[in-house]
Amino acid sequence: MNPAETSLVSPGPATDAPLVEVKGLRRVFDLSKPLLNRLIEGGGRVTLTAVDSVDFSIRRGETYALVGESGSGKSTIAKMAVGLLPPSAGSITIEGIDVWGEKSADVQRRMRRRIQMIFQDPFASLNPRWRVGSIVEEPIKAFAMIPDAKDRAARVGELLSLVGLDPRDGSKFPHEFSGGQRQRIAIARALASEPHFIVCDEPTSALDVSVQAQVLNLLRELQERLGLTYLFISHNLAVVRHVATRVGVLYLGRLVEEAPARELFADPKHPYTRMLLDAVPDIEMAGKERLAIAGEIPNPVNPPPGCHFHPRCPFVMPHCKTVVPPVLARGDAGVRCHLFAEG
Amino acid sequence: MTPTLSVRNLRVEIPTRRGVLRAIDDLSFDIAPGEVLGMVGESGAGKSITGSAIIGLLEPPGRVAGGEIRLAGERIDHLPPERMRHVRGKRIGMIFQDPLTSLNPLYRIGEQLTETILTHEQLSGRAARDKAQRLLEEVGIPAAAERLSAYPHQFSGGMRQRVVIALALAADPQLVIADEPTTALDVSVQAQIIALLKRICADRGASVMLITHDMGVIAETADRVCVLYAGRLAEIGPVRDVVKHPQHPYTRGLMAAIPSLAGDPDEKLAQIPGSMPRLGAIPPGCAFNPRCDFAFDRCRAERPDAYPAGATQAACFLHDAKNPPPPEIAGRASEVGLGVTRAPAEVPQ
């Protein structure tokens, strides 16, 4: 291992405790009209429960993937995890520190440094007026990690070569790079503060397939070398299968199934997970049997009662329409479906 | 049989301040009646521009600078705008990525459908309305009669795309050009829309040109597939052969880079180094040569024609039987199933 890497390896306490713990997480958005309009025009409050009692934990060095369609609440969870959006209830703990709890400015700073995010659109997430070098340098400056300008420049060079760019690329502007290279710059910036935990929000969905493979392989390589922990948000199950150690499937804000990746893909339990897997276009052309897919994700403002999935579920039972299924443990996995209730 | 669509040596140019860019360079392909041709490539490969060129809606200053486009034998490039307007809609239906941009938010669905029907057919208002309702029923919109008076915003994304399909098929076109019809939709809805598009075009015997970056969608839908790279044809052939035994190094790389639900998830994804060149910086010779594992001198100097390669045609010198590649290159290529020796099963022990 060369010295450039050693400085990046996060030593961290070697415990079995999960790095990230999410408990009872809930986020409600208020979509009501302003008070005055409500008084004059009538009509009550309108709320949208984007995330509803979500629990999961991520072990150090693992990749936890959240999968779901639009409106399932996956990006809302990402925003709450990095501290951009306060939860309505529940907690997110990273390395034992509650992201949204009361804490001293010093603890807050230390925690922030350890959390980074990679966004979907590398055209929007890089400032077009800044040189790449300054973009990557910014977190180092913000956390006052390297006081000397020369050392800082050297470090930026290291980071750029770490993500497969040329250190000299630092003097260029973002528009001189292709989509895949820009995502590499965004990754270099995320690595600059030596994070332990990186939230990747659809990091490859804006990229072409051949470039997507480059970025996915890079993320995996960096994880192995630097012991990073990822929360990986995606709607693409085939991509998730290649990166995740554990997968959570979201439907209208609820985690309907959660399992180790291998298990989830080999033996999906929840009817929604099965439907999602069946919907993936079959590149192998094996002509597989498909579960009939019907309907679309309902409006999250007014979700169906009971199990949110019941109007689309091929195995619906009478009590699915009224009773919210609890999380049923199945070994290392959990599923929120009445089909799996005992007896 | 006359192909529904025949494109010969199509060249599309975009004049810019820094010179003329060739967005499409010498592209030829046919679509047979009732056939679904998939058009794949990465962003900037020229898939959508090909579609726009065919329907005569290239965005200026882009222009068709050479070649021929024939619809059922009749040339449609350089038709006067009035005649072309009649071809669009009546003989070629179009479906775009974002259903919201194809529908006017201020008009009811029924009005938009009947307007299209009446533009192309001599029908009474009532008959047109009946036809609109039948179309909505055909694309699987429940309670079609009531939904005719709804506005586009009252439909969900998948339902809107169904309406757009109904609009595209309103005048019974011979050819439907679908440009990324499912990209803006969720996975579960995507599968429904693809199935619908395939069924409804097969029922009417319409040919389809399906433009997408998603090889999975092509594998499920298309009969043949045309792979574009930097505005040029890389490979064209039956979908099964292109997917299973790609003969162009680019197609092969593209196929291997797609994460799938089969195979070992712990294995690294194959990747093609670098990225597709910009239109202004296409290298001499084969456009793919800087990224190709098998490039040799000729690839850097000459542009390859499309050579027969197994069941497909590939624009790659590995397949030039008259002037074969150096033995070392050919040997390495045949190890991975490219070039003169085709499927690995045919290699003698």
Please determine, for residue A343, whether its predicted confidence score (pLDDT) is greater than 60: no
* E strand residue ranges, chain A: 20-30, 47-58, 63-67, 89-94, 97-98, 115-118, 197-201, 229-234, 246-251, 254-260, 328-330, 333-335
Same-domain pairing of B321 and B208: no
Residue B25: inside a domain: no
Q: Which residue has the tokens 């959508």?
A: B48
- Fold (CATH) for A3-114+194-291: Rossmann fold (3.40.50)
With H, G, I as helix, E, B as strand and everything else as coil, classify residue B258.
Answer: coil
Give me the pLDDT at residue B12, please. 95
Question: A239–B259: do the CB atoms touch at under 8 Å?
Answer: yes
pLDDT digit string (tens) for B146-194? 999 999 999 888 889 999 999 999 888 999 999 999 888 888 888 888 8
Q: With CA atoms as reference, report the closest residue to A336 among A231, A224, A229, A252.
A: A252
Between the CA of residue A334 and those of A17, A55, B20, B318, what are the distances in Å? 19, 11, 59, 52
Between the CA of residue A313 and those of A90, A316, A327, B43, what are the distances in Å? 29, 5, 17, 36
Please give the average per-residue pLDDT across B286-301, as a whole number: 93
Residue B22: inside a domain: no
pLDDT digit string (tens) for A77-91? 999 999 899 999 999
Q: With CA atoms as reference, report the closest residue to A183 among A227, A228, A229, A217.
A: A217
Give me the pLDDT at residue B264, please. 80
Give me the pLDDT at residue B321, please. 86
The amino acid sitting at A126 is: L
On whether the CB atoms of residues B19 and B31 are closer than 8 A, the answer is no
Please determine, for residue A4, whether its predicted confidence score (pLDDT) is greater than 60: no
Q: Which residue has the higher pLDDT, A284 or A100?
A: A100
The amino acid sitting at B260 is: S
For A164, counting Cβ atoms within 10 Å of its Cβ (0-12 exposed, 13-18 middle, 19+ buried), the class is middle
Residue A309 CA, distance from chain mean position: 22
Residue that finishes a domain, picked among B226, B247, B272 = B226
Question: B interface mutation test: which of A185, A209, A291 has the most B CBs within 10 A?
Answer: A209
List the single residue in A235, A265, A294 with the smallest CB-CB distance to B187: A235
On whether the CB atoms of residues B30 and B3 are closer than 8 A, the answer is yes
State chain A's mean pLDDT as an integer. Answer: 88
Question: A interface mutation test: which of B186, B212, B264 has the most A CBs within 10 A?
Answer: B186
Residues of B in contact with A216 (CB under 8 A): 259, 269
pLDDT digit string (tens) for A191-246? 999 999 999 999 988 888 888 999 999 999 999 999 999 999 998 888 999 999 99
Contact status of B257 with chain A (Cβ, < 8 Å): yes
Same-domain pairing of B96 and B219: yes
Walk across the sheet containing A20-30 and list its strands: A47-58, A20-30, A89-94, A97-98
Please determine, for residue B346, whether its predicted confidence score (pLDDT) is greater than 80: no
Q: Which residue has the tokens 């006359």?
A: B2
Least confident of A87-96, A98-107, A317-326, B260-269: B260-269
Residue B103: inside a domain: yes
Give me the pLDDT at residue A44, please. 81
Give me the pLDDT at residue B249, please. 93
Between the CA of residue A199 and those of A19, A65, A252, B319, what are the distances in Å? 13, 10, 21, 46
Give me the pLDDT at residue B31, please. 95
Please give the average per-residue pLDDT across B285-298, as a whole number: 93
Please tell me which of A288-302, B90-104, B331-345 the model is most confident about, judged by mean pLDDT. B90-104
Question: A216–B269: do the CB atoms touch at under 8 Å?
Answer: yes
Question: A284–B190: do the CB atoms touch at under 8 Å?
Answer: no
> Using CA atoms, how far apart are residues A158 and A191, in angstroms rounded to an integer?
11
Least confident of A12-26, A288-302, B84-98, B327-341: A288-302
Please determine, for residue A282, whether its predicted confidence score (pLDDT) is greater than 80: no
Please determine, for residue B328, whether its predicted confidence score (pLDDT) is greater than 70: yes
Range of the domain at B189: 32-62+78-226
Could you tell me the pLDDT band of residue B271, with boundaries at 50, 70 and 90? Answer: confident
Please determine, for residue B132, whether its predicted confidence score (pLDDT) is greater than 90: yes
CATH code where residue B173 lies: 3.40.50.300
Please determine, for residue B345, whether its predicted confidence score (pLDDT) is greater than 50: no
Same-domain pairing of B55 and B152: yes
With H, G, I as helix, E, B as strand and everything else as coil, classify residue B98.
Answer: coil
Residue B338: inside a domain: yes
Same-domain pairing of B221 and B291: no
Spatial neighbors of A279 by CB under 8 A, at least 6 apart, are A293, B187, B188, B190, B191
Lookup: tokens for B76 = 């449609």
Could you tell me the pTM of the whole model? 0.85
State the count of interchain CB pairs (< 8 A) between A and B.
123
Residue B256: inside a domain: no
Residues of B in contact with A252 (CB under 8 A): none
Q: Which residue has the tokens 């060095």?
A: A61
Same-domain pairing of B197 and B82: yes
Give me the pLDDT at residue A289, please. 59
Please give the average per-residue pLDDT across A171-188, as a whole number: 92
Please determine, for residue B133, whether its predicted confidence score (pLDDT) is greater than 90: yes
Residue B242: inside a domain: no
Q: Which residue has the higher pLDDT, B106 or B142?
A: B106
What angle, 0 to 180 degrees and rounded to 10, lies between the N-to-C axes of helices B109-120 and B81-90? 120
For A28, counting Cβ atoms within 10 Å of its Cβ (0-12 exposed, 13-18 middle, 19+ buried), the class is middle
Q: Could you state, in order of their start, the residue ranges of all structural domains in chain A?
A: 3-114+194-291
Residue of A nearest to B278 (CA): A178
Q: Which residue has the higher pLDDT, A342 or A18?
A: A18
Q: Which residue has the tokens 């009662």?
A: A305
Residues of A in contact with B213 (CB under 8 A): 208-209
Q: Which residue has the higher pLDDT, A296 or A272?
A: A272
- For chain A, what percent of residues have pLDDT higher than 70? 92
Q: Which residue has the higher pLDDT, B344 or A274?
A: A274
Same-domain pairing of B291 and B213: no
pLDDT digit string (tens) for B200-213? 889 999 999 999 98
Lookup: tokens for B32 = 């047979």
Residue B167: inside a domain: yes
Least confident of B90-94, B182-186, B236-240: B182-186
Q: Count other C-beta atoms under 10 Å from residue A298's C-beta.
A: 16
Please determine, for residue A267, whether its predicted confidence score (pLDDT) is greater than 80: yes
Question: A283–B219: do the CB atoms touch at under 8 Å?
Answer: yes
Same-domain pairing of B216 and B322: no
> Using CA atoms, how far apart are residues B214 and B180, in angstroms rounded to an integer?
9
List the single residue in B216, B253, B275 with the smallest CB-CB distance to A281: B216
Instruction: Quote ipTM for the complex.
Output: 0.79
The domain total for chain B is: 2
Cite the DSSP H helix spans in B45-141: 47-54, 81-90, 99-102, 109-120, 125-138
Please determine, for residue A1, whether its predicted confidence score (pLDDT) is greater than 70: no
On whether the CB atoms of residues B66 and B10 are closer than 8 A, the answer is yes
Give me the pLDDT at residue A331, please. 85
Q: Which residue has the tokens 């009361």?
A: A102
